[in-house]
Structure 1
Amino acid sequence: MEEEGLVSAATGALQPALGKLAALLGDDEDKRLRGEAELLTRELAAMDAFLLAKSSSSSSDLIPSAQDKACMHEIRELSYDIDDDLHDFMEASVCDKSAELAGLLDKMKAILGRTKARHEMIAKAVDDLKERVAQVAERHSHKRSKVDRRAPAILDDAPKLVGVDGPKEELIQLLSGSVESTQQQPTPNLVAIVGSGGTGKTTLANQVYQELEGQLDCHAFCSVRRNPDKARVLRSIYNQLYSSYNNLDRLSSPRPGVRDLPGLITMISDYLENRRCIIVLDDIWDVEILKVIECAFPTASSGSKIIITTRIHAVAQSCCSTFSGHVYNIRPLSMVHSRQLFHTRLFNSEEKCPSYLEEISGQILDKCAGLPLAITAISGVLADKASEKEIWDQVKDLIGRALRNSSVEDMVNIISLSYLDLPPHLKTCLLYLSIFPEGHIIEKENLIRRWIGEGFIQKKSGYTVYESGEMCFNDLINRNLIQPAKLDETFGDEVKNCCVHDTVHNFIVSKAVEENFVTIVGVPGVINPDPKAKIRRVSLQNDGEVPPSLDVSSARSLHVFGRNVKIPSLSEFRLLRVLDFENCSQLEDDHLVGIGNLLQLKYLRFKHAKAVMKIPEQVAMLHHLEIDVNGYGKLMEIPMTIQERLACYVTLCVDGYETVPDEIAAMQGLRVLEGLNIYTQSTEFLKRLGQLKKLRKLGIIWNMYDMGNCDVNYDKEEEEIEEEFLSSICELGKAGLESLHIFVREAADAYFKRSWFPDPQCGLRELIIVGDFLSEVPTWVASLVNLEKLCITMRVINERDMEILRGLPSLRHLRIYADADEDDVSESRAAMEKAMEEHPNRPTLVWYED
């Protein structure tokens, strides 16, 4: 991706426009033209500084007036238009330069003619842009008036540190049936947790869920939200129940072809016959989904548990009349627990709170009225100001009236304080989350790729642009404005997915729409303010459809969620930088017609787009494009012209059973390949796999029984497959493979006897070997001098194994799945703990006995 200024919510596209203007005019010798351009550049730079100052929390304690807000909005809109115009001109200029001319004389004449025409075109463009900037400057004066100091932080699961144990035990008692119910029929026990937003309902439900899930046969946790797709909810419940009972990972989880409600109800009912489960249905807004769930439960499923969370008391009462249920009204935190939560977030322990802050601390907590979301918000404000009493006084005064009524308006007041305390680049990254549906689980990597494609991330010295984006993601996590939804399943040291608390989500949607940062289509209650305004980003959700009156020709990104959305024509979106289709089973090849005309496209993603058979060849014409094909259905065809493009970054996730075409092994831009079953691939594919020099992450399934019906020469074919694969693995290790995930079945030890990575220069940083138990750590693991993370499934750990693991110089995380049936498993664990304590890095050890 070319280096240019950042696009931001505060300054729009002013910085990229300035960069393009400098690049375009840098080699011009026309003095008048240069003077005009410098004047335009100064005016644009002044506007950029004004917008940054107005959006920065460090610009005294001033708030923008209505006049300033109007000015800021108009400058941002102008910046996008200028940036688009400059890009169009530069594209036209490049095309002209690239014309092939016959003969040296003709070529020189053509260059002179084009240079003259180019000067005239640039002069006209500069005049036009200067006039437009001047018009805006004349209409607005940049007066500044008061701005409140704002502050961050909100993390729904924060109260799990305090005040949860008592309520958790009460709920477990209610679910156990120890509290008498008025109903005697053998239906699942149900508890409905009721409370307003930010009171910790989901956290409490999750704590009970984690406590009970191991005591029952199967379990599922599903966020329902407003206007749920009932079939989607049931599919999620079934998949989780099935996977938890059978202890399967995602590659082995069922993907039922049944789509209709009656079929899904029958599947769940049949599956739960004679099985007990616990199900959490989070954030229910009406009783219709409970009626569907009731149909799915067999009457003999006594002993099963259901927890629902809701903000609406009438919904809770109705749910409890359906099952043998109890309403649980969640209570605010006590002052003791409030202080413990507040001080822990600030000082790590209550004892560290300075005495001079004790009184004001109590005053702040009194205003928060025991609401966990409010407490974490205020603690986030003060996180880097923990010793500045003056700032604490200001924050206390800014909170306003006490939040005794737990109203949404009060909570939003604190969230808005959080928002404006962010630096401009984090404001932009946070507002961008408004494109996702409420309650959506957001994949970190996908989010960062979108940020990069939009131009939000500035590459930091010494880091890649992705690593710089990861820092922004971590900042938002640390400030508690987004919540970890899923940690690294194996090592638990990295957030893989996140979500946004619904109260925070409502705020950023309102803010993004108000500032014309995002246009959201298909969500009831979201009103985009001005139908005549130019659209910058479009999020299509639910059963949304882009109305004909909406001009999307200036949109920079299109985000499509769900199978009920009507896919718009790409011919209307000529300026797209980011195009993402998530769970769009209705997306077909015809919908991608014209994608080759999206010359600025930088990130293209398909997740579960099962009906798309082929990525259009025109995509190969797009420069600096990243393609993410993420799904577990039939692998779409990727044309050779795309495969041969070195600049194209490609991620492929397959379902673990399908055969990947041999041609994929020629895709030099392939960076991630997951779900590859080596016994369903041709030997030619496995041979060419080692040529993927840019492959950084590989996930494989090693199970020879997946070969199916083979010829008589079975042993020879198996040996040939393994030889070719191991040869390729060696090549990938030399080329820079960083992560290898192996799921192994049957004859596990035999697979690892040979040398996988003989080259001492192998850069592998992460190795995961799970599935069947190994009897020893493979010898070649000792040569992995760069290995930082190791997960391995072992029958027993002996002294030899510990010596290998202790000798890995870069090891930081070690996870061992041990066979619980082995007699000396506890001795092995104690010895391994000691070995890791003696390691120079003192790696984190997670020991799990299966």
Structure 2
Amino acid sequence: MAESAIFFLFKQLSVWLQDEQKLLGGLRQEAELIRAEMGQLRAFLRVADAKEESDLQLKEWVRQVREIAYDTEDVLERYILRFAHHPQGFSGYLKRIYTSTKYLTARHEIASEIQAIRSRIQNVSQSQQRYRDMYATMLSGSSSNLATTYTWYDGRGDALLLEETEVVGIEKPKKQLLDWLSSTNYGVEIISVVGMAGLGKTTLIKKVYDDPSLKVNFDHHVWIAVSESFRIEQLLRDIIKQLVEEVKQAPPQGLGAMDDVGMREFIYNFLQNKSYVIVLDDVWRINAWEAVRYAFPRSNTHGRGCIIITTRFNNIANAACSESNGHVYSLKPLTAQDSKELFNRKAFPASSCPPYLKEISESILKRCEGLPLAIVLIGGLLATKNNRIEEWEMFNRSLGSELEEDNLRRMWKLLSLSYYDLPYYLKSCFLYLSIFPEDQLIEKATVIRLWMAEGFVEEKQGKTLEQIAEGYLNELFNRSLLQVAETSRDGRPRNFHIHDLLRECILSKSREQNMIFVNSQGGTKWPDKIRRLALDSSVNYAPQICCFENLRSLLVLGAADSKCVSMWNKVLRSGCRLLKVLELRKAPLETIPSEVFRFYHLRHLSLRETEVKVIPKSIGNLKKLETLDLKGSKVTLLPIEILKLERLRILLAYRYYGGVHAYLQPADVKSFRAPYGIGRLLSLQKLCYIDANEIVVIREIGKLTQLQRLGVTKLRRDHGREFCSSLANLTNLRSLYIYADEGEVLDLQYSLCSTLPFLRCLVLNGRLERIPQWIRSLNALTVLRLSWNRLQNDPLELLQNLPNLLVFGIDCAYEGEGLNFKAGGFQRLKRLILVGLRGLRWVRVEEGSMSRLEELMMRDCKSMGELPGGVEHLRSLQRAWFIDMGEEFVERLCEERRREGDEWKLGHVERVRLLNAVDGVIRSRGIDDNAHRRDDASDADYQDFIGRN
């Protein structure tokens, strides 16, 4: 984290030295010296960040460096704030700044502060000398040295000693893995088990490894614990030793001196034409797999081999399995029932849970979120408290601090390992997620905008900041640190979740590093300097006397009560002039506090889902603003002063009327009127939704060539040619949402001079006489939604050859009687949604069409009397929902299910639902899934599907 702070200071200094050089004047040299001296510390800090937990003196030194970096940024930003902001512009006041006594005094004060910063840096650099020996050791590159710094006992090997009776919820995954192992062919096959720390990957594989069937079916068995600190030579040497010991042979002569090539060759020859199982447990690096992959024979004509890998990293699991078409098993948390059973075994070993502890037990279990390690350790600790309710309640209230105590420190360290393994640029990003309240789903788009505003995203040539930030999130998903909760239409993560215990870890770490303060920490003393403050309205606000002049971010996440309002009003009026992020989502606001428009450094302003109706002219003061989020507010008009915001990248100002997104009509989207000249905001990348009912606005849109997401409403028929002309300029578009004006036809038949090469998502909502021809050239298109189009002709012929289409929805858009999915069409389609097609009588699926379709939803297609013809050809279909269908359809479907049994057309589909929506509640119509499936109309996957579509 200290290196992260230094890096961001480095980046800020570079910006200041370039953009503010006139203002810096004589302080430029001082700023450059600070940058140079900080640069000398970076190499040491990169390793010291990972070492500080094992050396309290080093930890204090790192803290001092981090605070110096923060304070340096504060000083320089206060300097810019005092001299940059003038009501009549900068140039006319430049001479006055340098000549007036007032400004000379201010410059002298800040110069003194900068010199004090330099003195602090020099002092902390001198103290670095005592760590030179450690520094040399770190630079030596010895993995074993790195491993020795973690001297605590993590207990991962304990999983190898557990009896079968001590494990719950293991039967299904164990059976699946044994089935894969029994069906392996000649050659070598890879099985990867992936999941977050503490899920029981090692425990599961050990039970599989010890199963009698493996002893019978495989001649050789090897178990290697790899871990994060592996050495290639030792890894290969351990494999050889276990192989020869099992057959009671002596190790090869000269094994200790053998190089890795020789050892791989020995393993290869030893296993040729033999059957074997090799477990590589806890793989952290792809090069661990690369080091051994060619040691296993691939042309094993008389034998078969299986390599089982456990890892926290999805990319390692997938890479290892890709060559052999192997299997990846994503281990899930325990179910509620299994969690309860395991917890009761540990917490009440000789009895059952007493009634007075039931509620507290459920609360603790909920926070464990099915993590077996947490359940075992916490249950075992609570078993020592002799069922005393006051001690249980105290533990439940202070779980975060309890994790740092000796009894639970093993779990704390195991979870922390994943944090320390992060590259420096991800540590700040990950800790920042502690701002979000417990149990709250976190929106990916919001996180990306906040990271950018905070300056956490490092620029890279050829990529936008949004793309880089999304890559950061994907890396955290890859490391099993985040769990996807909801996906978007094209299957990419949209909302995600952090395990509650992992959140407690990063909350403690961010508080320790004074990065973020979250007021949900009950009795925690507020720090003297708060740089980022997240207010949780669910807790009582103890009166605090704090200095907020260093505050960079103020976030109110969740509906705010009166105490919360009072608190953030107090903060805004306290002189926090360095604020960069102001997130007031769902705040009870009708007008924007006037203090907001004095925040010169503000980059992110969110008034989402507030009652704000008017954006004042003073919005033009926020020259550094990059995100203005007014989604769900009542703003319908933006002042011309918005055009002064030359850095604005994201402008969202719309709200939806009505409920289900699939039934949105053009009039259900409330957009905003933009001032003339909106095309001057050349940095805009997201613009939703803008009234496009005037030709001058349509022409301005064509100037916004950086746009990646565009939503327009009230488009009129006679503006079609001009709109298509503007659209052709927007070659960076990824998402496009077009809504017609009420009663108008969307006339989009005009050809485009470019093909919109990156467009992934297209929504056309409004009457169409025919499908625009240019859509067939959208080679990157993954999502297409047609809504309220009143099409008379079958639209499938034009669309069936889109090469990358994954999701296709037709919502109240087609008035014909039939749809024919021809053979060879829609080859990559995974989701098909047919909604509100009241005149549709038949659907035909020819063999070879939609060969990869996984999900089908038909809703409110009342004239359909039977299942789509040829639905049995959809062999990849996994889930099918039929909602609010006609009575004839329901009766025939139920009758076919009863009559045909296992030969039913949908007999191969994992999950089938026949449902009715009554007052927003989904109810089953009486058809069950295939006999071995459970019937639960509120399945999480169904809710996810509806949310996406």
TM above 0.5, yes or no, is yes
Aligned residues of 2:613 and 2:633 also touching (Cα < 8 A): no
Q: 2:121 aligns with which of 133, 137, 140?
A: 133
Q: How do 1:124-523 and structure 2 match up within 5 A?
A: 124-137=112-125, 142-143=130-131, 144=134, 147-148=149-150, 163=172, 358-360=223-225, 379=282, 381=284, 385-386=288-289, 405-407=376-378, 409=408, 410-488=410-488, 490-492=489-491, 494-521=492-519, 523=520
Matched, 1:731 2:726: yes
- Whole-angstrom CA distance in 1 between matches of 2:28 and 2:691: 62
Matched, 1:614 2:610: no
The 1:689/1:387 distance shift into structure 2, 3 A limit, reads closer
The 1:161/1:763 distance shift into structure 2, 3 A limit, reads farther
Instruction: Report the CA distance between 1:500 and its aligned residue.
Output: 0.9
Q: 1 or 2 for the larger relative contact order (CA 8 Å, sep ≥6)?
A: 1
Instruction: Report the CA distance between 1:638 and its aligned residue.
Output: 2.8
Deviations 1:725-768 (A, max 9, x none): 66435423434444223579999xx9467515544454561343
Deviations 1:622-676 (A, max 9, x none): 2231233243352265322114544323122322546545445654446545467
- Partner of residue 589, structure 1: 591
- Partner of residue 560, structure 2: 563
Q: How do 1:701-716 and structure 2 match up within 5 A?
A: none
Instruction: For residue 573 of structure 2, give the secondary structure of its aligned residue in structure 1.
Output: helix
- Whole-angstrom CA distance in 2 between matches of 1:469 and 1:507: 23
- Whole-angstrom CA distance in 1 between matches of 2:418 and 2:737: 40
Instruction: Report the CA distance between 1:450 and its aligned residue.
Output: 0.8
Instruction: For residue 481 of structure 1, give the secondary structure of its aligned residue in structure 2.
Output: coil
- Whole-angstrom CA distance in 1 between matches of 2:208 and 2:825: 36
The 1:699/1:783 distance shift into structure 2, 3 A limit, reads same
- Partner of residue 856, structure 2: 848
Amino acid at match of 2:729: K
The 1:527/1:515 distance shift into structure 2, 3 A limit, reads same
Q: How do 1:650-669 and structure 2 match up within 5 A?
A: 650-656=651-657, 657=668, 660-663=671-674, 666-668=677-679, 669=681
- Whole-angstrom CA distance in 2 between matches of 1:796 and 1:724: 20
Aligned residues of 2:721 and 2:750 also touching (Cα < 8 A): yes
Amino acid at match of 2:524: I
Matched, 1:75 2:65: yes
Aligned residues of 1:627 and 1:648 also touching (Cα < 8 A): yes
- Partner of residue 539, structure 1: 534
Aligned residues of 1:817 and 1:848 also touching (Cα < 8 A): no
Matched, 1:550 2:554: no
The 1:821/1:647 distance shift into structure 2, 3 A limit, reads closer
The 1:142/1:14 distance shift into structure 2, 3 A limit, reads farther
- Partner of residue 579, structure 2: 576
Deviations 1:371-409 (A, max 9, x none): xxxxxx9857456633669xx9999xxxxx988924363
- Whole-angstrom CA distance in 2 between matches of 1:21 and 1:644: 21
The 1:93/1:779 distance shift into structure 2, 3 A limit, reads closer
The 1:412/1:675 distance shift into structure 2, 3 A limit, reads same
- Partner of residue 324, structure 1: none
The 1:753/1:79 distance shift into structure 2, 3 A limit, reads closer
- Whole-angstrom CA distance in 2 between matches of 1:726 and 1:795: 21
Instruction: Report the CA distance between 1:506 and its aligned residue.
Output: 1.1
- Whole-angstrom CA distance in 1 between matches of 2:711 and 2:447: 22
Aligned residues of 2:532 and 2:552 also touching (Cα < 8 A): yes
The 1:354/1:790 distance shift into structure 2, 3 A limit, reads farther
Deviations 1:142-172 (A, max 9, x none): 5349633999x9xxxxx999937999xxxxx
- Whole-angstrom CA distance in 2 between matches of 1:846 and 1:84: 53
TM-score, normalising length: structure 1? 0.58
- Whole-angstrom CA distance in 1 between matches of 2:635 and 2:126: 56
Deviations 1:472-507 (A, max 9, x none): 11111111111112211x221x11222211111111
Instruction: Report the CA distance between 1:443 and its aligned residue.
Output: 1.5
Amino acid at match of 2:552: R
Deviations 1:149-204 (A, max 9, x none): 999x9xxxxx999937999xxxxxxxxxxxxxxxxxxxxxxxxxxxxx9988xxxx
Aligned residues of 1:651 and 1:672 also touching (Cα < 8 A): yes
Aligned residues of 1:605 and 1:630 also touching (Cα < 8 A): yes
- Whole-angstrom CA distance in 1 between matches of 2:670 and 2:445: 26
- Partner of residue 601, structure 2: 600
Q: How do 1:33-112 and structure 2 match up within 5 A?
A: 40-56=34-50, 63-92=53-82, 94=84
Instruction: For residue 749 of structure 2, give the secondary structure of its aligned residue in structure 1.
Output: coil
Instruction: For residue 821 of structure 2, give the secondary structure of its aligned residue in structure 1.
Output: helix
Q: How many equivalent pairs are there?
A: 605
Instruction: Report the CA distance between 1:552 and its aligned residue.
Output: 1.4
Q: Cα RMSD between the aligned structures?
A: 5.5
- Partner of residue 19, structure 1: 14
Deviations 1:289-328 (A, max 9, x none): xxxxxxxxxxxxxxxxxxxxxxxxxxxxxxxxxxxxxxxx
- Whole-angstrom CA distance in 2 between matches of 1:632 and 1:9: 35
Larger radius of gyration: 2
- Partner of residue 697, structure 1: 709
Instruction: For residue 729 of structure 2, give the secondary structure of its aligned residue in structure 1.
Output: helix
Q: 1:779 aligns with which of 773, 782, 785?
A: 773
Instruction: Report the CA distance between 1:789 and its aligned residue.
Output: 4.4
The 1:114/1:782 distance shift into structure 2, 3 A limit, reads same
Aligned residues of 1:608 and 1:630 also touching (Cα < 8 A): yes
Instruction: For residue 832 of structure 1, give the secondary structure of its aligned residue in structure 2.
Output: coil
- Whole-angstrom CA distance in 1 between matches of 2:81 and 2:711: 40
Aligned residues of 2:2 and 2:63 also touching (Cα < 8 A): no
Instruction: For residue 78 of structure 1, give the secondary structure of its aligned residue in structure 2.
Output: helix
The 1:117/1:471 distance shift into structure 2, 3 A limit, reads same
Aligned residues of 1:602 and 1:626 also touching (Cα < 8 A): yes
The 1:589/1:769 distance shift into structure 2, 3 A limit, reads closer
- Whole-angstrom CA distance in 2 between matches of 1:461 and 1:435: 30
The 1:783/1:23 distance shift into structure 2, 3 A limit, reads closer
